[in-house]
Amino acid sequence: MAEVSDDRARAEALTRRRVLIVDDNVRVRQELRTLLPLAGDVEIVGEAANGREAIRLARALRPEVVLIDLEMPVLDGYEAARQIKILSPACRVVALTVHGYEAARQKAGRCGVDAFLVKGTDVESPMKIILGRYRPLPSSCWRQRLRSRRLF
Q: Per the structure, how many domains does the chain have?
A: 1
77 in a structural domain:
yes
- Structural domain of 117: 2-146
Q: What pTM does this model have? A: 0.77
Q: Which residues contact 93 (CB under 8 A, 6 or more apart)?
A: 65, 66, 68, 81, 84, 85, 112, 113, 114, 115
Q: Give the helix ranges, DSSP H, for the chain.
A: 2-15, 26-35, 51-61, 77-87, 102-110, 124-132, 140-146
Assign residue 124 the CATH number of its domain.
Answer: 3.40.50.2300
151 in a structural domain:
no
**Tens digits of pLDDT across the chain (152 residues):** 555 555 555 545 556 889 999 999 999 999 889 888 877 788 999 999 999 999 999 999 999 999 999 999 999 999 999 999 999 999 999 998 887 788 988 999 999 999 888 877 665 666 666 665 544 444 444 444 445 455 55
Instruction: Give the C-alpha separation, 13 to 16, whole Å.
Output: 5
46 in a structural domain:
yes
71 in a structural domain:
yes
127 in a structural domain:
yes
